[in-house]
Amino acid sequence: MAVNLNNYYEIKDTLDKNGIDSILYGSLGASVYIGNFREFDDIDLLVDKDLVESRWPELKEIMTKEGFSVLDEKEHEFINSKGVKIAFAGNNVLERDRICTLDTGVVEIEKNGKKIRTITKDAFINAYLFSSTDGYRKEKRGRSDLDIVDSLRKLQ
């Protein structure tokens, strides 16, 4: 099932109520800047790395209460009965992969009257340039990561 920002708002509200800050990442995050350039398979969220490490059982419990089940434990992916997929990763990947710092690369954008916490356009460019060097993604996605970079650069 394709996901959209409304699906994101629902899970963001749940995480907020549980005191969990999240950052919208991945293709759906990039769509905040460049619009719906394709159908999105999942919602990629960055959270404090402890939530996907030592506090993983806590995150699983929160998601289970919201009707999600674990789809892939290793990838921290969940799915609900409607087919909405959510993948979590630690927000430390931003600095580890030299995409941005949490202090300067994370922004809050208002869209349709609702706030979205995501990364800057420049940080998305860095993220897609980084991922375009990954052999698996190159093979799976071809040039699409670089096309996203081109679209983001046109906005600057």
pLDDT at 148 over 90: no
- Sorted by where each starts, the structural domains of the chain and their CATH numbers stand as 5-144 (3.30.460.40)
pLDDT at 14 over 60: yes
More confident residue, 112 or 44: 44
Please, which pLDDT band fits residue 152 given cuts at 50, 70 and 90?
confident
Helices (H), the chain: 5-17, 26-34, 56-65, 93-96, 121-131, 135-141, 144-154
Q: In this predicted model, what pLDDT tens digit does every residue of 131-143 receive, in sequence order?
A: 877 654 445 555 6
Helices (H) and strands (E) in the chain, counts: 7, 7
3-state helix, strand, coil in the chain (%, to 5): 45, 25, 30
pLDDT reported for residue 143: 65
pLDDT reported for residue 142: 54
Q: In this predicted model, what pLDDT tens digit does every residue of 65-116 receive, in sequence order?
A: 999 999 999 999 999 999 999 999 999 999 999 999 999 999 999 998 999 9
**How many whole angstroms separate alpha carbon 123 and alpha carbon 103?**
12
pLDDT reported for residue 106: 97
* Conformation bin of residue 69: beta by default, left when phi > 0, alpha when psi is -120 to 50: beta
Which uninterrupted H or E stretch holds 113? none
